[in-house]
Amino acid sequence: MEHKEIKQAVALSYDMEKDQVPVITAVGRGIVAEKIMEKAEEKEIPIHHNEKLVKELIQLKVGTEIPQELYEIVAQVLIFVEELDRKKTG
């Protein structure tokens, strides 16, 4: 029997002007994870796939600031998103 891995997703929000660190805005598994990704695509929000990071963040509650030990990896994601935005606006 084939073991199918359940999708997981975490959404982060970060406003450099008002937030000191990124905040978790949504977490989900299965259908909820799919809905999170669908909404991101609809709103043209970049999706970054990082299973290790999702496994860490999915354990936290919505509204939680990311923990300090994840700052570096989340900073890399934010750089990725910024580069995509720059390419899009050209």
Q: What is the pLDDT of residues 4-19, one digit of tens each?
A: 788 999 999 988 888 8
Q: What is the average pLDDT value for the chain, to the nearest integer?
A: 89
Model confidence pLDDT, tens digit, residues 18-56:
888 999 999 999 999 999 999 999 998 888 899 999 999
- All domains in the chain, ordered by first residue: 8-89 (3.40.1690.10)
Instruction: Give the pLDDT of residue 3.
Output: 57
Q: Name the pLDDT band for 84 (thresholds 50, 70, 90).
A: confident
Instruction: Give the pLDDT of residue 2.
Output: 58
Q: In the 3-class helix/strand/coil scheme, how is 1-57 assigned residue by residue?
A: CCCCCCCEEEEEECCCCCCCCCEEEEEEECHHHHHHHHHHHHCCCCCCCCHHHHHHH
Residue 27, both tokens: 């977490």
